[in-house]
Amino acid sequence: MRIAIDAMGGDKAPREIVKGAVQAVKESEDSGEIVLVGDENVIREYIPSDPPLGDRLHVVHSSQIVEMNESPVEAVRKKPDCSIMKAASLAADGKVGAIISAGNTGAFVAACHMKLRRLPGLHRPGIAVVIPTYDQPCVICDAGSNISCKPRHLHQYAIMAGIYAEQVLGIENPRVGLLSVGQEDLKGNILVKASNEYIRKDKSINFIGNIEGRDIFQRVADVIVTDGFVGNVVLKLIEGVGEGVLLAIARDLRKENSELAAPVNAFLSKLARRHDYREYGGAPLLGLNGVCIVCHGSSDALAIRNSVRVAQSVLSHHVNDRIVQRLEQTGNGKNGKD
C-alpha cells in the first residue's frame, strides 16, 4: 500500500506535513510506504536521518507550488508540475493507491478530477467530512466540492457517504438524513424536495427523511446529505460556534470566577482536543477512480498522520469497489455524465 502526500500544501507545509508522514511510517511496520511530493531539497531537510526510513519513505520532486489563494482551475492548468498535479498523476499511473493534500482544496479537487476518472455510473464526486459531535461522529456530504447540485448528485452522496460511514466508521446500516428547513417531506427548496423523492425511492438506503440544522448535533442521522454550498457553510459554522462558545466560557470565567478558571480551562482544552477535527484526519473526495483525501488547510503532523489512517482504511475496506457495486445494483446510469 503506497500513499502519496502533497508535502507543499497547507498553512504548516512542509514541516508539519513531513513530520506527520514520518510519524505514520515509524508508527506501524505494516502501514506501507509513503511518497512525499514537492520540492525535494526542502523536504529532505525535514526528514530525520536516524532511524533510516529510506525504503518506506520516498520523495518525488515537483518544481511548482499552488498557493492557497490561487484560482483552482487556473492554477492546475498553469502549473502542470505542481505538487498537487504530480501527486494526482502518481495515482492515475497506479504508482500510489491514495493521495493526500492539505493545500488549496479547489485545486486538489480539480487535479483529482483531471487526472483520475469518475467511477462508472457516478455523476459528481463529493467530499465526505466527519463531524465530531459530542456523542458519536456523523458524516456530511457534500462538504463543498459541488456547489450546484442536482437531485441525482444528492442521491449518490447518500449512497457513497453511507458506504463510507459503514465501512470506515463502523456504523451499521447508517441512518441517512437530508438537510432541510423542516422534517416534513414537502419542506425545503426545489433541490431538496426533488432529492427527497429521489432518495426515498432507493430502498437500499436507510433514509430517515429530512432533518433540520439542530438535528445534526442530536445525532438523529449518521449521514447528512446536502449540497456543497450548504455543507460548506455548515462545517465552517460548526467550527466557528464551537470556538466561540469555548472562548466565551474562558473569558467570562476569568471575570466572574477566577478560581475556577484554571481547572476549567484545562478541562475544556482536553474536551476540545477530543473533538478536534485533526483526530479525524482528512475527508475523502468520494466518487473518483482513486482515493483522494482532502485535509484542512491548518493541518499539522497529527492531522496528516490520521489522514494516512483514513486513506488506509478507505483502501482496505474497498470503499470504491463497494460504491461501484451499489451503483450497479441500484440501476444508476452506467455512464454518469453530470
Nearest residue to 317 (alpha-carbon basis) of 20, 23, 34, 97 = 97
What are residue 34's DSSP bridge partners? Answer: 3, 57
Q: Which of 47, 169, 194, 268 binds a second copy (CB under 8 A)?
A: 268
For the CB of residue 212, give the shortest distance to a second copy in the complex, in Å. 5
CB nearer a second copy, residue 18 or residue 238: 238
Q: Distance (Å, rounded) from C-alpha 203 to C-alpha 214?
A: 26
Cell of 195: 432529492
By CB under 8 A, residue 130 contacts a second copy: no
Q: Which of 121, 144, 162, 281 binds a second copy (CB under 8 A)?
A: 144
For the CB of residue 129, give the shortest distance to a second copy in the complex, in Å. 13
Give 288's DSSP letter. B
What 3-state DSSP class applies to 171? coil
Stretch that binds a second copy, among 7-15, 45-53, 225-233, 329-337 (CB under 8 A): 225-233
What 3-state DSSP class applies to 63? coil
By CB under 8 A, residue 168 contacts a second copy: no
By CB under 8 A, residue 244 contacts a second copy: yes
How are beta strands 176-179 and 138-141 bridged, if at all?
unpaired
For residue 155, give every residue at least 6 positions away whose Cβ sits within 8 Å of its Cβ, in sequence order, or none. Answer: 195, 198, 199, 202, 332
Is the distance from CB of 281 to CB of 310 less than 8 angstroms? yes
By CB under 8 A, residue 262 contacts a second copy: no
By CB under 8 A, residue 235 contacts a second copy: yes
Residues of the shown chain interacting with a second copy in the complex, contacts defined by CB under 8 A = 69, 71, 133-134, 144, 147-148, 179-181, 184, 186, 188-190, 192, 212-218, 227-230, 232-249, 251-253, 256-257, 260, 263-264, 267-268, 271, 275
